[in-house]
Amino acid sequence: MRPLALVTVLALCGPLSSARGQISAPDDGYDLWLRYTRVADTARLAEYRAAISELVVTSGEPTMQAARDELALGLNGLLGRPVPVADAPTRDGSVVVGTPANSRTIEALPLAAALREAGPEGFVIRALPVRGHHAIVVAANRDIGVLYGVFHLLRLLQTGESLARLNVVSAPRYSLRLLDHWDNLDGTVERGYAGASLWEWARLPDSISPRYRDYARANASIGINGTVLTNVNANALILTPAYLMKVAAIARVFRPYGIKVYLTARFSAPIEIGGLATADPLDAGVRAWWAAKADEIYRTIPDFGGFVVKANSEGQPGPQDYHRSHADGANMLADALAPHGGIVMWRAFVYSSEVPTDRVMQAVDEFEPLDARGAFRTNVLIQAKNGPLDFQPREPFHPLFGRMAHTPLMMELQITKEYLGQDTHLVFLAPLWEEVLRADTYAPDPRSDVAARIRGLAGVANVGSDRDWCGSDFNQANWYAFGRLAWDPMLPSAAIAESWVRMTFSNDPRVVRPVVAMMLASREAAVNYMTPLGLAHQMARGHHYGPGPWVAGGRADQTSVYFNRADSIGLGFDRTPTGSNAVRQYAAPVRARFTSRDSVPDNLLLWFHHVGWIEHLRSGRTLWEDLLQHYQAGVDTVRWMHRTWDGLDGLVDTGRFRRVQGFLRIQEAEARWWRDASVLYWQSFSHLPLPPGYEASAHSLEWYRQLRCPPDPRKPRCKPS
Ligand code: GCV
């Protein structure tokens, strides 16, 4: 982040003006949502200045120091004047910050009931008299709660909330709120679209990038409390002493911000770095090796969080290599970590070596019987992706969320947009995540939503070494949204979008309203132009960027044709009892809803049913007509987003305005590319005409099929049509 002095100077100077009276200096996006520019609304500014005149922080512990520094930075900027730090409230307007253990003032206040409600990580913010003065109190049971409370208070000011009658008690719903980095030790990032890895392994542990602290600070501001540093396609070297020293150095920077580090454990590490002949989880030597490795890790990193494991999936080694079960593998690692309080997050994204009848059924088939036997140790969590396939623009919720009666579950979301336009397309993911968190599993009863069935959220990070962290200004919103939902999974997408826009761009309603509207429309737009009506996995092979509904060959269940089942009759994967019967993995009411053509939601129709091209849908239109309409709606929405953004010229700084504008240009061309390539391909089966007035495709199907879109630099992303 900018040094304190610079922020203060900028804030005191006031914004630079443009023709429309707003900031126009180019902004590189580095500050994310943590912008503390002077409050523009003069009435609010006067209210804040009257309510806040000094800071009282009495503890010098690292987390409390971080809280004090953040408050000083934020208040100085937002109020446009320095706010002095005092030892005790001396006048009206004190912001008193602390825990009953580190502040006598807080200890003496009547906050016991509220603090009980706040729990170990939550906080209380109240306006109340302290020693005869008007004060604002940010109190918590632990220092980290204070830091979270400080970020919350600053957010209220950033978003222009009134401080009158301030009374907040907030506690996170989950204790595990993690970012998973798919970062490799060579600095590349699997499915990363924001530059190289943040972790400078070659320079660690002696050289500490200042970005580590800025990253930790951004995470703490949204309540994230864990970071898995390494790719699930793991490299055993991370567990060697030299790398553990490097990990310890990162952990030291993260610690004051309440962030624990976790690592991915390569199942074959005992062979690769331990010199053993086997990695069999029931072998005594292997078990001893992992126990000793855990001891060594905790000697180096005393608050180490634990392991994430991808085993027997996409070629990764695992217990099945030794004819052992996932439970045998997970329990071995759990036993090694248990004496130190560590956990194992064992992924349910499994890919068997044989092609199954229906790929989306494998996780339940493998994990439910183990759960039924209570086979997993208590410090094992099974981590499932939101849907049973692979982070598609839309999937039904993963049936595993309704099937595991004994073993705690984590849900993995993908913040990096592997299948949703990667760096350039503006797609706000909170509506996707809200949809799955609120989905009712009916297991064991109605109102058992997915949010209630899990113990934590892990998000595959979209953060890299790019100056703007995420590869695009709007991708930052997805990092922000993930943290906010991990704290409170019932927070509506609209509220998340609005607070992000206010903090990141402006409180001006001429900006807030249209940008929030764009964000909220963006996910459905992407579904429409990529995979409408429940289609999935229609992306080009490998890079997963552009359309590839024709992809065939190689392993069948990694191809588009396997998932779309297009033929002369119709389109879609029959997962009802007449087909793969994947619906059987859902609780009875959900199964019935998905099985019947009368009740299956239109947006999942082709996920569960093979539908004839000229069959009528509930809309009264045929499948063919509805399909065309959805593709067109996707394109039209992106055009509208583009026009809406153009209308913000002068209301947003030139740097971000132009960057977003350029990306929307790409997105519009590529939405057409998706529509045209897909429609032409389906037409080669349906042989049905386009209705009069339907925008004709610019090129032939063959032209689209031979396009090698990124990363091939010799081809354009998409030829302008
Ligand atoms: C890390 C998908 C991605 C892979 C990823 C895998 C996983 O298949 O394309 O890059 O591997 O999911 O989640 O393990």
Burial of 91 (0-12, 13-18, 19+ CB in 10 A): exposed
* Predicted pLDDT at 8: 33
| 689: three-class secondary structure by DSSP | coil
3-state secondary structure of 293: helix
Query: Residue 73 has what pLDDT?
Result: 97
CA 232 to ligand 1: nearest atom: 1
391 C-alpha vs ligand 1 centroid, how far in Å? 9
28 alpha carbon – ligand 1 mean position (Å): 30
Strand pairing category for 611-612 and 226-228:
unpaired
What local confidence, expressed as pLDDT, does residue 721 receive? 39
**Is residue 340 within 8 Å of 291, Cβ to Cβ?**
no
191 CA: nearest ligand 1 atom: 10
* Inter-residue long-range contacts of 61-65, CB under 8 Å, 24+ positions, other chains counted: 61/102, 61/143, 62/255, 62/256, 63/143, 63/144, 63/146, 63/147, 63/256, 63/257, 63/258, 64/97, 64/98, 64/102, 64/143, 64/146, 64/147, 65/256
The protein residue with its alpha carbon nearest to ligand 1, atom 13, reads: 349
Residues of the chain with pLDDT under 70: 1-25, 709-721
Q: 232 CB less than 6 Å from ligand 1?
A: yes
The pLDDT value recorded for residue 514 is 98
Q: Which residue's CA is minimally distant from atom 12 of ligand 1?
A: 390
Please confirm, yes or no, whether 418 is among the known catalytic residues: yes
- Can you say whether residue 695 is alpha, beta or left, with left for phi > 0 and alpha for psi between -120 and 50 degrees? beta
The two three-digit tokens of residue 144, written as one number: 């980290």
Question: Is 191's C-beta closer than 6 angstroms to any atom of ligand 1?
Answer: yes
Q: 343 alpha carbon to ligand 1 midpoint, in Å?
A: 22
Q: How far apart are CA 258 and CA 254, in angstroms?
A: 7
For the Cβ of 190 lying below 6 angstroms from any atom of ligand 1, the answer is yes
Write out pLDDT tens, residues 24-76: 568 999 999 999 999 999 999 999 999 999 999 999 999 999 999 999 999 99
Distance from residue 182's CA to the centre of ligand 1 (Å): 9
* Ligand 1: nearest atom to the Cα of 190: 10
Tokens of 95: 């912001």
Nearest to 290 by CA among 274, 301, 303, 304: 274
Q: In this predicted structure, what is the pLDDT of residue 710?
A: 56
Which pLDDT does position 355 carry in this prediction? 78
Strands 380-385 and 611-612: unpaired
Q: State pTM to two decimals.
A: 0.96
What is the distance of C-alpha 433 from the center of its chain? 9
Q: Which atom, in ligand 1's list, is nearest to the CA of 231?
A: 1
> Distance, CA 448 to ligand 1 centroid (Å)?
28
Q: Is the CB of 233 under 6 A from ligand 1?
A: yes
Question: pLDDT at position 531, please?
Answer: 98
Compute the distance between CA of residue 224 and CA of residue 199 in angstroms, rounded to an integer.
18
